[in-house]
Structure 1
Amino acid sequence: MSDSILEEVFIKRSQQKKKTSPLNFKERLFVLTQDKIAYYDYDYEKGKRKGLKGSVDIEKIKCVETVIPEDNAPPERLFPFQMYLFLPQIIYDEGPLYIFAKSDDVRKQWIHKLRHVVRFNKDLMQKYHPCFWEDGMWKCCQQEVKQAMGCRVLETRNGGFSKGSRRKSRKPLPPLPPQPPKQPKFSEGMTVIAEYDYAPMAPQDLELRKDEEYIILQISDANWFRARDKYGWYCKNINRSQAENLLRTENKDGGFLVRDSGKYTGKYTASVYTKASHGTLGTCRHYNILTNHQDQFYLAEKHYFNSIPELINYHQHNAAGLVSRLKYVVSNRTQNAPSTAGLGYGVWEIDPRQLTFIKELGNGQFGVVKYGKWQGRHDVAIKMIKEGSMSEDDFIEEAKVMMKLRHENLVQLYGVCTKQRPIYIVTEFLSNGCLLTYLRENLQHPSAVQLLEMCKDVSEGMAYLESQQYIHRDLAARNCLVDSNGTIKVTDFGLSRYVLDDEYFSSVGSKFPVRWSPPEVLLYCKFSSKSDIWAFGVLMWEVYTLGRMPYERLNNTEIVDKVSTGYRLYRPQMANDKIYNIMMNCWHEKADERPTFQALVISIQDLLDNLY
C-alpha cells in the first residue's frame, strides 16, 4: 500500500441502500493514500488499526463537499458540527459516503487533501446534493432517485472543480489598486468601539478608553476621524501563528481573541486556547465567524446574532459547541496601541524638546538611530540624520507625502524635526529590531509557516507601496523591522533617493545594494517596482537561509558580471521547490516578466493554505 497522506478516526454513516434499511454510525480509522481512501476497525487501547472494513479508489471519487447536518442530530454527530458543518461528502460510483469529522482544522485538512488528490479525475461532478440521502430520497430536493443529478452547483472559487481542470485557488482576489488592501469601511454616524486606550497627543485629540463606544461625526482625513464619546478582544494585525503565540503565552484555559481571517478578506476568525484534554501544554482551535442569509453572525448554528460583540458576549457564557466558552480576553492591544499616521491630528513637524532619547539602537545609512519617547509616553525610533548624507530640502518636502502612507506592514513615519541640525526622522518603534538580526540571532528552529508568513508580511507591505506607485529602491532584510508579535514591517522606503554619497550608486562601491539589484539597475541604474520585485526574491532567500549574505563568495564586480549573464542564487535548504520557484520568478532577466506584488501575495497565501 502507498504511504499514508493522512490518518484520522471519524464517525462513518452506513450507506442506506434501501428505503427500509436502518442507518448506523460507527467510528472507523480512515487512511488516505495517493491511490485509496480506506477505513478500518480501530483498537483504542493499543492505538492500532484492526481489520479493513472498506475502501474507495481515488480515481472513482467524483466530488468532495460539505453536507448540511440532519435535523435534531444527537450530540456525537453535532460536536462541533453546529458551526462549520464538518461533514465531508465523498460521492463515488456506489453512492455517497458520509464522514463526520471532529474539528474545524481536521475537516479543512482532509477536504483540502482529498480535493488535491482527485483534482485530475475524469468526469468530476459539477453539481452535488447539499443534504443527506435518507429514507429513499434526497432531503435537499426531494428527488427519489439516488443517482439523480445534484441540485446545487459546485462553487469553484471555494474549492470545487470544473470538468477536467485544475482546482483554482480558494482565496478570493485582493482588492485592485489603487484601493488600499484591508481598509475598513467607516461612515459618518457609525458607532465604533475603542480597541485600546489612547492618550491625547495634541489638544484636539480625543481620549479613547478601551471597550467604550464612540460615534463618528466626520471623516475628513484617511487616518483621523472626528468623533464623540458614546472591544478589546479584536486583534486586527496578527496572523494564525502569532495568535497561537499570544494564547500560549497567556496560558489560560478559555483564553481567546478575534482576528482577521487569513484566507477570506472581510471575514473574521475566533482563536481559542484550551487545556481540557492537553494538560499544561494546551492547544489552540480556530473558528471562522460565519454569516447566514440574513447577515447574522454565528459560531454555532441556531445561535445567531446581529453583531460580533453580541456573539462574543453569548459565548463568554456558553460554549455551545466550542472547545471552551470564551473565558479570558487575550489581546496585544492592552500594551501596544497601533501606530497612527502622525502623533496627533495634523502634526508632522515635531518639537525636538518633546523627545526623550533613551538608548542607541544602531548606526544606519544616514546616521545614528535611537529609541526614545515622545512627550514621555509614546515609543518612537529617532533617526538623527548625519549632515551631508542626505538632500534635506527634497526629503522634507517628500516627508509630507510619506506620512500619508499607512499599512500594517509598513513602519509608520510620525513626523520630522527640521528646525535644527541634525534633522530628525521620527518613526514607529518596533521592539524586536532589524529582521536581518532577528533571523540570525532569534530564530533557532523556525516552522515553515513562520518563515512563509514573514515573506507574506513583506509582500503585503510592498503590494500597498506598489498600489500607491511608490518604489522602495533598497528592499532587503536589513530594511525591515520586527514588532513584539513577530509581524514584519518594511522601513526606509524611498529614502535612497536622497543619498548624497556618490559611492552608493557605484557598481564597485561598497554602499550600493548590488546583492539585491537586478541587471537593469546594475547596468543602467533603472529603478522600478519590478526592481523591487527582484529585491524581494533576494529578501525571501535571506529569510530561508536565516540571514546569510547573498552571493557570499563573490565580490560586487563578480556579482555584476555573473548576474548579468544569468547566474542566480541557489535554493536554500529550508525552501522547497514551490518556495524557490517564487524566488526564481522574481529573478527573471526581463523586468516585465516578473510578477507584481499583488500576484506574489496570492501565491504566498496559496502556499500558506496548504500548510494550514
Structure 2
Amino acid sequence: MSERLLEDVFIKRSQQKKKTSPLNFKERLFILTKEKISYYDYDPEKMKKKGLKGSVDVEKIKGVENVLPEENAPADRMFPFQIIYDEGPLYVFAKNDEVRRQWIHKLKQVVRFNNDLIQKYHPCFWADGIWLCCQQEVKQALGCRVLETPNGGFTNKGSRRKSRKPLPPTPQEEKSSRPLPPQPPPREEGPSAGMTVIAEYEYTPMTEQDLQLQKGEEYTILEMVDTNWWRAADKYGNEGYIPSNYVVEAGNGLERFDWYCKNMNRSQAENLLRTENKDGGFLVRDSSKAGKYTVSLFTKGGGDAPGSCRHYNICTTTQGQYYLAERHNFSSIPDLITYHQHNSAGMVCRLKYIVSNRRCAPSTAGLGYGVWEIDPRHLTFIKELGNGQFGVVKYGKWQGQHDVAIKMIKEGSMSEDDFIEEAKVMMKLRHENLVQLYGVCTKQRPIYIVTEFLSNGCLLTYLREDLNHPSPVLLLEMCKDVSEGMAYLESQQYIHRDLAARNCLVDSNGTVKVTDFGLSRYVLDDEYTSSAGSKFPVRWSPPEVLLYCKFSSKSDIWAFGVLMWEVYTLGRMPYERLNNTEIVEKVSSGLRLYRPQLANERIYSIMTTCWSDKPEERPTFQELVVTVQDLLYELQ
C-alpha cells in the first residue's frame, strides 16, 4: 500500500456537480498518499474509518488554495481550502489554520510537477450557480485572482524565460478574445533536485544535449526545464535532456508494469489483444469510470473459434482491498495480477501472456530539447498523403528513422510570420489526443510544418471506408477522444476554429487525435475566412459565427456536436441537401441536424446541447468529457 503522507478528519462540502444537487456538509476522513487523496465515511464515536466515498488522483490536481469563509460561517467551517481539479473545486474545512496550512503545503509539494497548474483561482466559493467573488456564472470560468507566486503557487528560481506578448486580435475574433495559451511553467530547480524516475520507454538522443534512456533503468532529475523536457542524470553520471512523458516517478504505482496500459479504451484493448491472438493474453487499463481499473483478457476457449475478449472490473472492498471475479482479496493490484497469472479463480482462463502497448513510445514535444527549427536536409519525403487548405501533406522520415508528416505550405496561403511566432508556443501543447507539432522549417520557401504521423489517416475517411458495423462503444470512444483533446485546448484558452472529422486523425491503435488547431487564424484566403466564402466551414459553424464571425470555445462546442453527428452517420455530409446560403438562413432560424440512425436518444441529446442558440447555454468540453465517460461506463 502507498505510504500515507497525511491523515485528518475534515468537513467536506458536497460538490454539486449538477445544478439540482443538494448542498450539504459531512464529516469525512481524508487520507493523502503520493498517488491520490481519498475520503471515507467516518464513525466519530468509534474513531473508525468506514467505506470509501471518493478520491482524486494527485496527477489531476491543478491547484490548492485557501477559500474565504462564507458569511456568518459556523465555528467548524472557519478554515476552508479548495482542491482544484477537472471536475471542479473540492471544498474542505480544516479544524484550525495550522492544520489547513499543513495540508496546503504538503499538497503543493505532491502536485508540484503536475501539468497545467493554474495561474489564477477563485478566492470565494461557487454557490447557487455563481462565483461569489467575481459573479461569473460558468463553473469552469478562469479564476479572477492571480496567484502571488505563479505555477500553481510555487516560487520559481532562476527563471530566464521572457514574457511573450499575445498576438493582436483579428477581425474574426470577439473583442474580448483571449490571449495565446500560457507558456509552460518556468524552470524549477529547488523542488526537482534528487527526484528518482524510471524509464518506461527506450529513448535514443535526437540531439547532442539529450540523454539516452534504457527502459526500466533509474534516473535522477536535475532540473525541470519545462513541462515537456527535464534534465536528468543516469547511474554513471551522464547528464542530458529527456522527454518527461518517457519516465515515471519511482514507486509511482502501476506505470512500472508492462501489463498496465493507462490511456487505452475498450475498443483499443480488444484490437490489441486480437492482433496478438494469444489465449490468455491480457492487459490492465483505466476504466471509463474515473479511479477504476479493468482487466481485458483474450481467450480461445468456450467454443469461440476466432477467440473473444472478456473485460473484468477490478473491484474494491470497504477495507480498500482489490478483487476480480471471486473474492480473493489483495492489498494491491500487482498482487492481484500475480495471483491470477497462476489461478483463473472465476475468470474464463488465467492471465497467461502480458500484452503491452508500450512498444510504441509516445510522441515528444519537438525532436529534441529546444529544437523547433528543423533542418530540411534531415527530412526524407516518402509519399504524398493528401492536399489540404495549406498545401501538400507528405509522409516522411526525420533523420531516416522517425515517422513524420510534413505540410508544405503554399506561398501566400497563410500569414507566415505570425504563424512562425506562435509555432513556438504550439509546440508546448502536448496531449495524447492532439497531433503533436514537432517543429517547422522556415529558412526556405515553402515553409514546412512537421508533425506526428498517424498511420490510419483522416477520421472522415476512416469513418467512410474502414469501419464495418462499428459497436456503440467504439463510436462513443471516438467522440471521447476528441472531447478530451478539446478539453485540454479549452484549459489552455485555445480556440480551434475549424473542428471537424476532416481535421482529426487516427493512429494505429484507433486513437483519434485533433489536428490543425488554431491554423485557420493564419489563413489569408478570403474564401476561407469570410463566412460568405465557399471554403468557410459553414456546416460546422453556430449562428454567432455565421452572422457575426464571433469565435470562442463555445463555437468549438457547436462544431463538436456536428463532429459527433459525422461519427454516428459514418462520415455523411452535414445538411447534405442544402447549399451554404441556405444553411446560414435555416440554422439561424433554428434548423438542426436530424438524429442519426446509429445514435440513440441519449447520444443525440448530447449533440443537441452543443447546438443551443445561446453560447452560454452550451456545455464546456470538460463537462462533455464527464458526460461521455459516464455513458461509456454504462455501455460497458
TM-score by length of 2: 0.65
Name structure 2 gaps, 5 residues minimum.
1-48, 57-83, 90-113, 118-190, 236-256
Match of 1:377 among 394, 398, 401: 401
Q: Is the 8 A contact 2:457 2:507 kept in 1?
A: yes
- Secondary structure of 2:229's counterpart equals coil
Taking the TM superposition and a 5 Å limit, the aligned residue runs for 1:393-542 are 393-542=417-566
State the 1:270 CA deviation: 2.8
Q: 1:219 to 1:309 in 2, by over 3 A?
A: farther
Change (3 A) 1:585 1:157: farther
- Residues 1:235 and 2:240 aligned together: no
Identify the match of residue 222 of structure 1 among 224, 227, 250.
227
Deviation at 1:578, TM superposition (A): 1.0
Larger Rg: 1
Q: Is the 8 A contact 1:195 1:234 kept in 2?
A: no
Any residues of structure 2 matched to 1:532-611 within 5 Å, and which?
Answer: 532-611=556-635
Q: Is the aligned partner of 1:273 residue 2:278?
A: no
Structure 1 residues 202 and 303: CA distance shift in structure 2, 3 A: farther
Contact 2:51 2:318 in 1 (8 A): no
Q: Deviations over 1:456-496 (max 9, x none)?
A: 11111111111110000000000000011111100000000
Distance 2:622 2:516 in 1: 21
C-alpha separation in 2, matches of 1:245 and 1:190: 36
Q: What SS does the corresponding residue of 1:489 show, helix, strand or coil?
A: strand
Identity %: 78
Shift of 1:249: 1.7
How many residue pairs were aligned?
444
Quick check: 1:531–1:591 contact (8 Å CA) kept in 2? Answer: yes
1:56-135 equivalent positions in 2, closer than 5 A: none
In the alignment, is residue 328 of structure 1 matched against residue 353 of structure 2? yes
Q: Which piece of structure 1 moves more, 336-345 or 365-374?
A: 336-345
Query: Which of 197, 200, 211 is the equivalent residue of 1:195?
Result: 200
TM-superposition CA deviations, 1:405-444 (whole Å, max 9, x none)? 1111111111111111111111110000000101111112
**Contact 1:180–1:464 (CA under 8 A) maintained in structure 2:** no
Equivalent residue number for residue 67 of structure 1? none
- Post-superposition offset of 1:322: 4.6
Structure-1 separation of matches of 2:612 and 2:207: 49
The letter of the residue matching 1:209 is Q
SS at match of 2:632: helix
CA deviation vs aligned residue, 1:543-563 (integer Å, no higher than 9, x gap): 111111111111111111111
The partner residue of 2:285 within 248, 259, 266 is: 259
Q: 1:569 to 1:311 in 2, by over 3 A?
A: same
Structural RMSD (CA): 3.1
Distance in 2 (CA, whole Å) between partners of 1:591 and 1:371 is 39
Deviations 1:380-417 (A, max 9, x none): 11101111001011001101111111111111111111
Q: Output one character per residue of 1:54-100: Cα deviation in whole Å (capped at 9) or x when no partner.
A: xxxxxxxxxxxxxxxxxxxxxxxxxxxxxxxxxxxxxxxxxxxxxxx
Q: CA deviation at 1:569?
A: 1.0
CA shift, 1:272, in A, is 2.1
Determine the C-alpha separation between the residues in 2 that align with 1:370 and 1:481.
14
Partner Cα separation in structure 2 for residue 243 and residue 388 of structure 1:
44
Structure 1: gaps spanning 5 or more residues: 1-150, 159-171
Deviation of 1:541 (Å): 0.8
Preserved CA contact (<8 Å) 1:372 1:382: yes
Describe the superposition over 1:181-240 as per-residue Cα deviations: whole angstroms up to 9, x where unpaired: 9xxxx9764544433332221122232333444444433321123334464333233201
Q: Which of 201, 206, 211 in structure 1 is aligned with 2:211?
A: 206
Q: Which amino acid aligns with 2:205?
A: P
1:225 match: secondary structure: strand
Q: How far apart are the structure 2 equivalents of 1:268 and 1:228?
A: 33
Q: Find 2:271's aligned residue among 245, 255, 259.
A: 245
Q: CA offsets, 1:498-518, max 9 Å, x none?
A: 001111122332110111001
